[in-house]
Amino acid sequence: MQIFSKIFSFLSFSKKNEITSGPNNLEELLLQFDLPKKEKSLKEIINDYMIKETIVAVEVDYLRNCPNTKFVGTHKFKDHSGNVYFDWVPCSIRPEVVYCSYGKN
């Protein structure tokens, strides 16, 4: 048994290869912030765009299955004599409309 344990311990220590995949301490992590940003290739940019388009399509499809959002809005109007009136207006809107038009008005 001792022979097997010696062979096993020898093999495990001789094949010890550390693969560094990232910063190992705080100093290495802080040094990464000073490095120039890696430029993306055209293929990576296209891949990122396709992933974003897929996520947006899934989100819109999910929102189409949700019920309408209902709320009460206000409407401000003036009559001929200049008096200002407010009226309560019931509103109903589809969730995907809000999602698709966010930031476009």
What are 41-65's pLDDT values in tens digits?
Answer: 999 999 999 999 999 999 999 988 9
CA torsion sign for 21, 23, 28, 30 is positive
The torsion region of residue 78 among left (phi > 0), alpha (psi -120 to 50) and beta comes to: beta
Among the listed residues 102, 92, 98, 99, the one whose alpha carbon sits nearest the alpha carbon of residue 67: 92
Is 96 part of a structural domain of the chain? yes
pTM (2 decimals)? 0.47
Is 74 part of a structural domain of the chain? yes
Is 6 part of a structural domain of the chain? no
Number of domains, the chain:
1
pLDDT digits (tens, 9 = 90+) for 64-86: 898 998 988 888 888 888 899 88
Spell out where the chain has E strands. Answer: 69-78, 84-93
What is the domain extent for residue 73? 40-105
